[in-house]
Amino acid sequence: MKIKFLVVLLVGLLNTACSVNKLISEANSSFARKEYFMASEKLKLASQKVKDKTQKPALYFNLGESYRQMGDYTKAAIWYRNAIRSGYKDSNVELLYADALRGAGKPDEAKPIYLAELKKDPKNTWASNGMESIRKIEEWKSIPALYLIENLKAVNSVANDLVVQIIPGKKQTICLRSSREDIPDKKTNPVTGQKYSGFFTSTFDSIKQKWSIPTLIKDPNTLNSPDEELSLNFDPSSQLIVFARAVPQDQKPAISQLFFLQKKDGQWTKPALVSFSGDGADYISPMITADGKTLWFASNRTGGKGGFDIWKSNLTGQGTFSEPENAGDEINTSGNEVYPFEKPNGYFYFSSDFHPGMGGYDILQAQKSGGKWQIEQLPPPLNSAGDDLSIQFYGNQEKGFFTSNRKGSHGMDVYSFYLPPKLFQCFGKIHDSESDSILPDVNIRVVGSDGSSQKIRSVNGRFQAALNPESDYAIVVFANGYLNAQAKISTRGLHEAKEFEVDIKSIPTNKSIRIDNINYEVGKWEMLPQSKASLEKLIELLKLNPEAIIEISSHTDDTGEEKFNQDLSEKRAAAVVQYLNEKGIPGKNLESRGYGKSSPLKVSQKLAKQYDFLHDGEYLNPATIENLGSENLKEIARGLNRRTEFRVVRQGSVTDLK
């Protein structure tokens, strides 16, 4: 009996072992096919049944990966932690765990992991990006929210809903990809555990002030198939559609490809494959630019930087697309970059899971500067600890839609956003730079980097102007008898309303103007380094007045030989002119003259206020200086005579405000 019992027990154990091994094999097969939902269900069951502890680390890690791929960072963090504790050996598992913690909204727990990895390898880009993300998260905590967002509850379902486009010519209609249950002829997707998604539209009713329940696109009816629809994009004329669809493969991961349709004689053609997307790689999130000339998309095709990269192809007409070009190192990383979007003004947006950010996928903005992309993360609440994807703008406006699985969402949800107007005001005064008197009733132009231009007339020397957010401004003053003057201010990066106060000092054309802090070594004419810095304001002034011709003059005090002083002053004036030439001021606009000691300084009202022992209107000639009494006061007066000045020889026409 005992032997029979042992045999039965062994058979049972063997059957159990075979059953578990089969389950693990099936789970691994699903994981290899990127069927992450199906894999996670099988892996969880296998992890509960397996007795061999050496098998558990790999099961735990694959569970972490499955949940990460599905955007569930809280569960991913749990299973990565289990994998680490059970001894899983992988060089990236700690960083994957840290990223999952950040995506789960736990940056404080992620921070020591990034620091530990940087201690092992200070050049680890992944870890350094993680630490930069932690820094930004801390920084964003102190910044008031710029954008207002709203979950479009009428549009969203309990399944995944992802906005893909604001329909051209129908600004109140959005197209979304949805896995909601009421899609006919769709099976369950083993990747997500939801139905294969389809394309829907929803329209805003301006009378009822609400969005309609999304309806399946029926024209063209070929856009929706039994397979997984991923993203689509109409060109600006609505005569071309490019869309991505996941094509099933036998016992292999589905391959997402790009297809296009054209409208000919009022009828849509059948879907045709975009030729370059048939190479076996995955292609997703197509976007056609506002001029209809460029197709942006994401792909893991050969030649990328790693994972999904952003690529572009030129649309050459008649449904032909040029060979793709990678968007470059500034945008693409060893992680994944997806969902490109370009505004008509050239501002570029995409989502990345590798660039520094709050967690998961973050939405980033890129601008071209000096031939390179400058990247910055959009602030919360546009970005969150979860996945934030597929931002869509109304033209160049700061309003539109995006998709997120942040806390409070039902899976992936569609959100609207807009940037409320911020009030910026500029209050200014205009003075004569020498007398400090108010200049009444002069013309002013306020020019913004956003293309705005305001014409203003001051009243009693004062003016007021409204400013736009995120813009740089030049405030230029035009007055007869004065050189054009300007002040520069900026509203970029300001998160709250602000009032600017500017005091613009206009330089008269009928007086010699002292250039402060122009110094030379005793008896020499080469300017000291700090003197060159003092000329920057003069350079800016001359560039603002390109028709003006000025004389640069140099003066010495009354000590020393007259011929030596005359020669020294001429060389000093010439040295200043040479420097101005080198800085781009044309020689035809400059004259130089040395006066030696022949032209003592006339004390101005402003100078008399500064030095109470001097009197307005008197000349600092030898007799005046000698009467000052103390050697200290005499030396101050001689120092004032040692000066470099400029005066306007010819102003040219004052720029008008046409």
Could you write out the DSSP letters of every residue in 502-537?
Answer: EEEEEPBSSS-EE-TT--B-TT--SBPHHHHHHTHH
pTM, rounded to two decimals:
0.68
What per-residue string of b and e applies to 478-503 under the rule 16 or more CB within 10 Å gives b? bbeebbbbbbebebeeeeeeeebebe
End-to-end Cα distance, the chain? 111
Reduced to 3 states, what is the DSSP secondary structure of residue 363? Answer: strand
242 φ/ψ angles, rounded to the nearest 5 degrees? -115, 130
Tokens 């995955």 belong to residue: 282
The mean predicted confidence, pLDDT, of the chain is 89
Q: What angle do CA 48, 68, 198 make, to 5 degrees?
A: 110
Which residues, listed in sequence order, are joined to residue 310 by a DSSP beta bridge? 298
pLDDT at residue 11, rounded to an integer: 38
pLDDT, mean of residues 114-129? 93
pLDDT at residue 17, rounded to an integer: 53
Low-confidence winner among 96-105, 216-225, 434-443, 521-530 (lowest mean pLDDT): 521-530
pLDDT at residue 655, rounded to an integer: 52
Low-confidence winner among 185-189, 192-196, 240-244, 526-530 (lowest mean pLDDT): 526-530
Q: Could you give the CA distance from residue 547 to residue 72 in angstroms, rounded to a whole number?
A: 65
Q: 598: which residues sit within 8 A by CB, 6+ positions away? A: 566
Q: Which pLDDT band holds residue 525 (cuts at 50, 70, 90)? A: confident
342 φ/ψ angles, rounded to the nearest 5 degrees? -120, 125
Q: Could you give the CA distance from residue 374 to residue 205 in angstroms, rounded to a whole number?
A: 39
Q: Is the pLDDT of residue 3 over 50?
A: no
Cβ 245 vs Cβ 256: under 8 Å: yes
pLDDT in tens, 283-334: 999 999 999 999 999 999 999 998 999 999 999 877 789 999 999 999 999 9
CATH number of the structural domain 513-650: 3.30.1330.60
pLDDT, mean of residues 125-129? 93
Question: Which residue, among 432, 455, 452, has the nearest Cα to 503 in the 3D structure?
Answer: 432
Q: Percent of the chain at pLDDT above 70?
A: 96
Question: Which residue, among 358, 357, 313, 364, has the nearest Cα to 338 in the 3D structure?
Answer: 364
Distances (CA, A) of 436 to 433, 460, 503: 5, 14, 11
pLDDT, mean of residues 76-102? 92
The token pair at 145 is: 């929210």
Task: Specify the CATH class of 148-418 in words.
Answer: mainly beta
Cβ 322 vs Cβ 312: under 8 Å: no
pLDDT in tens, 548-602: 999 999 998 888 888 998 999 899 999 999 999 999 999 999 999 999 998 999 9
pLDDT in tens, 399-448: 999 999 999 998 899 999 998 877 899 999 999 988 888 998 899 999 99
Which residues, listed in sequence order, are joined to residue 5 by a DSSP beta bridge? none
Distances (CA, A) of 80 to 86, 109, 265: 10, 14, 56
Q: Which pLDDT band holds residue 20 (cuts at 50, 70, 90)? A: confident
Distances (CA, A) of 283 to 24, 91, 320, 329: 30, 29, 17, 19
Quick one: 309 exposed, middle or buried, by C-beta within 10 A (0-12, 13-18, 19+)?
Answer: buried
pLDDT at residue 653, rounded to an integer: 64
Q: Percent of the chain at pLDDT above 90?
A: 55
pLDDT in tens, 177-203: 999 987 877 888 888 889 999 999 999
pLDDT, mean of residues 463-473? 90
pLDDT in tens, 336-375: 999 999 999 989 999 999 999 998 999 999 988 888 899 9
Cβ 213 vs Cβ 156: under 8 Å: no
Kindly tell me the sign of the dihedral angle through the C-alpha atoms of 215, 219, 224, 225. Answer: positive
pLDDT at residue 2, rounded to an integer: 44
CATH homologous superfamily of domain 424-506?
A: Carboxypeptidase-like, regulatory domain (2.60.40.1120)
The domain segmentation of the chain, as residue ranges, is 21-141, 148-418, 424-506, 513-650
Could you write out the DSSP letters of every residue in 305-326?
Answer: SSSSEEEEEEB-STT-BPPPEE
Domain 21-141 part of CATH 1.25.40.10: yes
Torsion of CA 562, 565, 569, 572, to 10 degrees: 160
Q: Is the pLDDT of residue 1 over 50?
A: no
Q: 9: which residues sit within 8 A by CB, 6+ positions away? A: none
What is the H or E stretch that residue 364 is in? strand 362-369
Which residues, listed in sequence order, are joined to residue 162 by a DSSP beta bridge? 177
pLDDT at residue 18, rounded to an integer: 61
Q: Could you give the CA distance from residue 92 to residue 545 in angstroms, rounded to a whole number?
A: 60
Q: Is the pLDDT of residue 658 over 50?
A: no
Q: Could you give the CA distance from residue 395 to residue 410 in angstroms, rounded to a whole number?
A: 28
